[in-house]
Amino acid sequence: MNELVSSSTPSDMPSSPAIHLQKLQARLLAGDPSARQELERLALLSNLQALTEEATQAGALREHRFAPSLPLIGRAVAALRTALFAISARWPLRVLIAQQTQVNQATARALAESLKLNQHLLARIEALEARMAELERERHG
């Protein structure tokens, strides 16, 4: 989450997101105008970042493992299910798993790139807003 904040430098970054949020809250309560902007940036990007991380972690599919569910004969039933699965579905399913995993990984990469682009565009918008405010002050000052 810390990389979402443009106004901080690596040397003044808190050690955890919780500490960063506490400091941001204190700045907000103290009336720091840049804290509101930083909070808006965090709100806009944090959900996208969480979804990107989730997609990256959950991208690889795996075959189902049959577990014993019956008390005495559970292992034998699980072994029989595994054998039947190996005969009937394992090979075509592996192809589908590989294809879907590639789609999931490509989607996670696209989300990561989208997050980077959004961060860049928000920084540009903030710079333009600051420049516009500066020009307004010069015009009226």
Give me 94's structure tokens: 């592996």
Binned at pLDDT 50, 70 and 90, residue 139 comes out as very high
Determine the Cα–Cα distance for residues 58 and 48; give it in Å rounded to an integer.
Answer: 15
pTM summary value: 0.50
End-to-end CA distance of the chain: 38
Predicted local distance difference test score (pLDDT) of residue 134: 93
Q: pLDDT by residue (tens digit) across 15-70?
A: 677 787 788 888 888 888 888 878 777 777 777 777 778 877 777 777 767 777 77
- Interacting residues of 8 by C-beta distance below 8 A, sequence separation 6+: 2
CA-atom Rg of the chain in angstroms: 25
Provide φ and ψ at 31, rounded to 5°. 90, 15
Q: pLDDT by residue (tens digit) across 73-132?
A: 888 888 888 888 888 888 888 888 888 888 888 888 888 898 889 888 888 988 998 899
